[in-house]
Amino acid sequence: MNWESAFSAANLSAMVCWTALIFLPRWRWLLTLLRAGIIGLCAVYAVLAFVYFFREEGGGFGSLEAVSILFSSPPVLLAGWVHYLAFDLFVGLWIAARADARRMPRLVQAPILATTFMFGPVGLLIYLASELVPRRAAAAASAG
């Protein structure tokens, strides 16, 4: 298998999903397609993990060196990358749903979602910090 092509396909699918999440209206059918994208990424991860994770002698999760050995394998490295793509997109959908429920303006959501796409936990941290701001103060800040 050409791991570079698989990497490019996974990246492209994630980019399409993130672009739709950030810029398109959140129609029910679109959210269903985005969830299907997550399921697809999870399936790719599962296959790669179960087929390749246990083939790397000395690889594992018990030490940084063992993780380094494990991820020296291209298919395992791809699995790790797809893991990031799937989880970050899942978190992005979660953030978008919560932000919509809180009536957070889409212009405020966009940089949070873009940060989640690029830097996962940092975007989640920013969103969770935004939930600490009382709604009235947030509404006044966006109105003024």
* Residue indicated by tokens 């690029």: 118
**Tens of pLDDT along 7-31?**
999 999 999 999 999 999 999 999 9
pTM for the model stands at: 0.86
Average pLDDT, the chain: 91
Report d(CA 62, CA 141) in Å as an integer: 47
State the pLDDT at residue 92.
Answer: 97
State the pLDDT at residue 63.
Answer: 92
Mean pLDDT of 73-99: 96
Q: Which two tokens stand for residue 82?
A: 């797809």
Decide which of 81 and 133 is more confident. 81
